[in-house]
Structure 1
Amino acid sequence: MWLHNSLAVASLCLPGALSNFLSPTYPSPRDLSSRNSHVATGWRNLTTRLDHSLHGRSNSTLSLLQDLTFSIGLFSTHDSGAETLQYHHAAPEILNASHGTNEVDGDSIYRIASVSKLFTVLAGLIELDGEDWERPLSEAFPAFAQSLREHSNSLDPVYNTQWDVITPSALASQMAGIAQYGAPWYTDFLTTHAFNEAFNTSSPVTDPATYALPPVDESDPAIWPPCASIEHSVSGQCAPSDYTEGVASNPPIFLPWTSPSYSNNGLSLLGLAIANLTGKSMEEVYQESIFDPLDMESSYSEVPPSSEESRCVIAGAPDSGWALNNGLSTPSGGLFSTLNDLAKFGVGILNSTLLSPTETRRWMKPVTHTSNLHYSIGAPWEIYRYTDPKTGIITDIYTKLGDSGYYGSISAFLPDFDTGFSVITASSKATRSQQTLFLIQQIVDTILPALTTQAATELENNYAGTYISPTPNFNSSITFTASKHGAPGLVVSAWISNGTNLLPQIPTIMGARDYRLRPALTTPGDAGQIAFRPATSPQHPVRAGDPSRLFTSFYDADDWTSFGQVMYANMYLSEFIFDVDSDGVVSAVSPAAWRVTLEKRD
């Protein structure tokens, strides 16, 4: 966005003319696990409540988790001790199970359901190049090309899926607009009724006659996909060529790149595309691109070997879901892992171990909105926008949820804090899904405020204070104070530059009287430099759900339109660059345009 210089300079003098920008409110906290950390305290409070509810006589809502077996834990790129913040609970069915483990810990092996999708997309980002991601599926699968040829003169976008437009990137971001399932993992009343009749399990619920559905020509091969046979439905296995032939004729849900539509089918196709384009099996892809580099020795893309059964969390009978290899649906939901391995996976993503930092940042961004203001979609991220109830600050939580049969999970990432958490659960009870979501909510309600408080504490301890020029007889100093009221961040409470008091010039330098300095640029690694820039508060905040000032508040609510407009000799007036060591301790600050380094004095 370009603004005329006179407008830009004039806007600097308007109190509260601009607003916050999308970045962390604080530098990432370095201490999550010590006894003095607010995060560790919050975790102890949560786990104490869990203990009292699950093993004591408490009647709190947490006692609803009695029948849920689960493992939960944190991870951080700055504090390896965060991985010790774990909690595990074995429900009665696991305590008394005749197969698998009877107790759970960080090395217990669970099915992770659709968290597998996150591994599949990451593996694709590692293995494929940019051209592959935008290659039409009709070039990768002969069945799709054949379907297009058959409809070349009669293609109807309402009834015929446009496989020449759908790409791996559309599949990864749930923007392909295709069916959620393909045979044999879908429900078609005609085929289901036929199977029920064959097994003498007919039910009015799936009888077409119950719904007055018209008769169809049952000799038409299009209504009997190759993988819709009784054999395939029982085994869940299907050849890739048969599977793609079956889904080729599925009608679309939306046009590609129109609206997000969750599709397990899409991630199965993405796995097939990755295998086709690399010439490797997906088992090889997971092992070579993710498991081995991250030392995830307890993660599997097939049912773990019998030698590992003593570590496996098996809910219900083994043949009720645990012991079935997922075959083509493995990329969608067939992986197995442990809490400790998921921590390695989380740190590997946040640390850009497998992708470059630029690729990681580009990946961890939304692709589309949903109809919910608090929920966006990435590839394959499910992004929740958490609003702090006290400050109104928004924190984006990048997640992938897993929910299938007796197993549930989530991998959650908080890039603003360089941390995250994992949850994996198992239960044969019908309440498993809702209990898993309830447990996740308890972690979010506990950890997000604790992270914010810890980050604010470290900001005050490490960044606030007085910085003085080490040059003799050079009267330059600056004092930063951590804001304790209103918007969080740093403010300049005193500033002398070569004998000149700059406090009266703060509104011009910062762009407003009401501002807070927040981190905007960080050099990679634990040690280096962090550049702070001012975020300014809107003069008339727009209330949630009130569209009356949607456009008239544009310049009152968008800092992002005005960065980098006021400079001196090609350096930004409002940029302050702090030198930080590997422990997060700040030693100096450089007000960029003044070309001076001021050392911190205790």
Structure 2
Amino acid sequence: MYRIGSISKIFTVYTLLVNYGWEHWNDCIMEYLPELQDAADLNHDPSVAHVDWSKITIGDLASQLSGIGRDYDVPQCGGNASMPPCNRDGIVLLIHVAHHSYSSLLFLEYFHGLLGRAPVFAPQTTPVYSNTAFRLLGYIIQAISGTRLDKLLQSSVLRPLNLTTTTYAIPTDRGSWVIPNGESGWYQDTGDETPTAGIYSSSSDLAKFGRDILLSTQLSPIETRRWMKPSSHTSGLSLSVGSPWEILRSKSKITHGRTIDLYTKSGSIGQYNSLLVISQDYGVALSIMTAGPSSAAVIEVASEMVLQTLIPTLEDQTLYEACKSLCGTYQSSDPSKNSSLTLSMDTNGLQVERWINRGVDFLAVIQAYASQTGSPFIHMILQTTNLEYPPNIQGKDVTSRRVAYRAIFEKDMSDSTGQHRIVDQSARQWSSVDTPMYGEIAYDDFVIYFDHSGVAFAIEPRVMRETLYKVDGGAGNSPHSTQVI
């Protein structure tokens, strides 16, 4: 077990989504935090010294778009290694001993001090990393549920997912704890800061949690896809922010290849540094955990080494597995029609290499049309759509599934002048999906049929109103393979 620092934020948001979905996402936070009502009288203040809490939603907190500051610490509390966590409210009397004389210091705690802090940005301006936002989110989840967050996390997330070495509180049952020498931060009481940085977990639990997110174990697939999206961009070209994902954009071969997104969350507390990485492109989750006085430098080097090696390997394996299932030639069951289609795989992905329809080279037809419109292409790549249909082919049910694909016509984006272009020409390709059409069906609309073992045995270019069956490339357990061959 390690401390996972700010990866705790993922557990906090996940708890909210598992229990309430997006029901409260756009609610104003003042509905759930009565302490913020005290700030209402400040709204008439024409200065920029006070946060307008009435403009901040729960989703703003979760996506780092609230505009409020990173932390709130005062000299007498803060939840770090040397100070106790600030209470939610109330007044604390501190007795300070100095040269045998006693002095008392009255101070207002968390909310009383927080209301005096100036905003950093107006809400929904730009992402600002805020631990304060997730502490408030913890309070809000408790207000909505009427249950302490630690109990809700345990009952709705940790227990159902069997995350037995993940805990909200400081562990008490002796286990495989990783505690560096010195002031490690292991026993640091984070109090109400736990939703933002206080949870403990293990490398196996954290990776399993990432896998469960990918598999939509508790959230529905559409809820998972909605959650794993950017909310805003940062000043860096390769980093966007989600809720509360830190989304890194890279290439499948590191320096070249297709664009991939890594949904990550880093964490740091005391001598602990950790990283969770989830890749929807490859269906993989991994965790990296370090502890010790140089753990910050170590995890930076370790994560780069792991990803530099892992991403190209996963890309090659993904292409290999996809080709094993999909590559091959598909033909009409009526040889007189002279209709066939060949799928192959290269570094760009699943490619329509050859397409003959009733003796006509249809790829050449599409290329001629594209050239006339000034948009010639070099590759016709099939991309999955997350749309699946009940199995039914030629009026007969089979143990298969039908998956919809769309063709992406990749163009040569090189500039003959060699000059750098501000407007990347590839950025326009997204607007060409679902065109052109013939008889109300787009040319790029395909359905592929898979047998029970996951091997493709038929493809339907829907614009042709015909299904083609695999005749080579590993037809697998296709119910039609014997008949066609």
TM class by shorter chain equals 0.7 to 0.9
Asked if 1:367 is matched to 2:231, the reply is yes
Name the CA distance, whole Å, in 1 between partners of 2:417 and 2:124. 31
1:226-264 CA-to-partner distances (Å, cap 9, x unmatched) read x57x99963225235642222121111111111211111
Q: 212, 216, 225: which one pairs with 1:348?
A: 212
Name the CA distance, whole Å, in 1 between partners of 2:89 and 2:454. 51
Name the CA distance, whole Å, in 2 between partners of 1:277 and 1:600. 54
Give the structure 1 partner of residue 382 of structure 2: 518
Is the CA contact 1:144–1:245 (under 8 Å) kept in the aligned structure 2?
Answer: no
Equivalent AA in structure 2 for residue 239 of structure 1: R
How big is the shift at 1:272?
0.9
Q: Secondary structure of the equivalent of 2:55? A: coil
Equivalent AA in structure 1 for residue 407 of structure 2: R
| Bigger Cα displacement from structure 2, 284-293 vs 463-472 | 463-472
Change (3 A) 1:474 1:565: closer
Equivalent AA in structure 2 for residue 480 of structure 1: L
Change (3 A) 1:232 1:349: closer
Asked if 1:234 is matched to 2:83, the reply is yes
Equivalent AA in structure 1 for residue 66 of structure 2: A
Q: 280, 284, 293: which one pairs with 1:419?
A: 284
Change (3 A) 1:535 1:410: farther
| Bigger Cα displacement from structure 2, 499-508 vs 409-418 | 499-508
How big is the shift at 1:300?
0.6
| Bigger Cα displacement from structure 2, 377-386 vs 527-536 | 527-536
How big is the shift at 1:410?
1.1
How big is the shift at 1:488?
4.3
| Bigger Cα displacement from structure 2, 162-171 vs 235-244 | 235-244
Change (3 A) 1:379 1:240: farther
Asked if 1:300 is matched to 2:174, the reply is no
How big is the shift at 1:183?
2.9
Give the structure 1 partner of residue 35 of structure 2: 143
Is the CA contact 1:509–1:574 (under 8 Å) kept in the aligned structure 2?
Answer: no
How big is the shift at 1:378?
0.7
Equivalent AA in structure 2 for residue 153 of structure 1: H
Name the CA distance, whole Å, in 2 between partners of 1:341 and 1:253. 36
Is the CA contact 2:447–2:462 (under 8 Å) kept in the aligned structure 1?
Answer: yes
Name the CA distance, whole Å, in 2 between partners of 1:287 and 1:330. 14
1:77-104 CA-to-partner distances (Å, cap 9, x unmatched) read xxxxxxxxxxxxxxxxxxxxxxxxxxxx
Matches within 5 A, 1:66-465: 109-128=1-20, 130-149=22-41, 151-156=42-47, 158-184=48-74, 191=75, 234-239=83-88, 242-305=109-172, 307=173, 309-316=174-181, 320-387=184-251, 388-389=253-254, 391-427=256-292, 429=293, 431-465=294-328
Name the CA distance, whole Å, in 2 between partners of 1:231 and 1:118. 21
Name the CA distance, whole Å, in 2 between partners of 1:345 and 1:130. 20
Change (3 A) 1:437 1:543: farther
Change (3 A) 1:450 1:581: farther
Q: 479, 485, 491: which one pairs with 2:352?
A: 491
Q: Secondary structure of the equivalent of 1:234? A: coil
Give ranges in structure 2 of 5+ residues lacking alignment. Answer: 91-108, 390-399, 473-485
Name the CA distance, whole Å, in 2 between partners of 1:458 and 1:566. 31
1:371-413 CA-to-partner distances (Å, cap 9, x unmatched) read 1101111110101111234534211111000112111111111
How big is the shift at 1:320?
4.2
Equivalent AA in structure 1 for residue 333 of structure 2: P
How big is the shift at 1:161?
0.9
Name the CA distance, whole Å, in 2 between partners of 1:134 and 1:502. 49
Asked if 1:572 is matched to 2:463, the reply is no
Name the CA distance, whole Å, in 1 between partners of 2:65 and 2:303. 26
Is the CA contact 1:147–1:249 (under 8 Å) kept in the aligned structure 2?
Answer: no
Name the CA distance, whole Å, in 1 between partners of 2:264 and 2:277. 4
Give ranges in structure 1 of 5+ residues lacking alignment. Answer: 1-108, 185-190, 196-226
Q: Secondary structure of the equivalent of 2:243? A: coil
RMSD across aligned C-alpha pairs, in angstroms? 2.8
Instruction: State the identity as a percent.
Output: 31
Equivalent AA in structure 1 for residue 411 of structure 2: S
Change (3 A) 1:541 1:263: farther
Q: 533, 547, 563: which one pairs with 2:407?
A: 533
Name the CA distance, whole Å, in 2 between partners of 1:152 and 1:445. 50
How big is the shift at 1:480?
2.1
Q: Secondary structure of the equivalent of 2:364? A: helix
Is the CA contact 1:126–1:289 (under 8 Å) kept in the aligned structure 2?
Answer: yes
Number of aligned positions between the proteins: 439
How big is the shift at 1:461?
2.7
Is the CA contact 2:327–2:345 (under 8 Å) kept in the aligned structure 1?
Answer: yes
Q: Secondary structure of the equivalent of 1:121? A: helix
Q: Normalization by structure 2: what TM-score?
A: 0.83
Asked if 1:507 is matched to 2:372, the reply is no
Is the CA contact 2:254–2:312 (under 8 Å) kept in the aligned structure 1?
Answer: no
Name the CA distance, whole Å, in 1 between partners of 2:333 and 2:89. 69
Higher strand share: 2
Give the structure 2 partner of residue 89 of structure 1: none
Name the CA distance, whole Å, in 2 between partners of 1:177 and 1:594. 53
Name the CA distance, whole Å, in 1 between partners of 2:418 and 2:5. 35
Name the CA distance, whole Å, in 1 between partners of 2:335 and 2:388. 33
Name the CA distance, whole Å, in 2 between partners of 1:570 and 1:370. 41
Equivalent AA in structure 2 for residue 145 of structure 1: Q
Structure having greater relative contact order (Cα 8 Å, sep ≥ 6): 1
Name the CA distance, whole Å, in 1 between partners of 2:238 and 2:416. 16
Q: Secondary structure of the equivalent of 1:456? A: helix
How big is the shift at 1:363?
1.1
Is the CA contact 1:580–1:587 (under 8 Å) kept in the aligned structure 2?
Answer: yes
Is the CA contact 1:509–1:573 (under 8 Å) kept in the aligned structure 2?
Answer: no
Is the CA contact 2:388–2:404 (under 8 Å) kept in the aligned structure 1?
Answer: no
Give the structure 2 partner of residue 48 of structure 1: none
1:434-463 CA-to-partner distances (Å, cap 9, x unmatched) read 111111111110111111111222333322
Name the CA distance, whole Å, in 2 between partners of 1:347 and 1:583. 22
1:122-178 CA-to-partner distances (Å, cap 9, x unmatched) read 1112233545222222222222111222x243242x210111111211111111111
Higher helix share: 1
Is the CA contact 2:434–2:445 (under 8 Å) kept in the aligned structure 1?
Answer: no
Name the CA distance, whole Å, in 2 between partners of 1:408 and 1:129. 30
Give the structure 2 partner of residue 596 of structure 1: 466
Is the CA contact 2:184–2:272 (under 8 Å) kept in the aligned structure 1?
Answer: no
Is the CA contact 1:128–1:278 (under 8 Å) kept in the aligned structure 2?
Answer: no
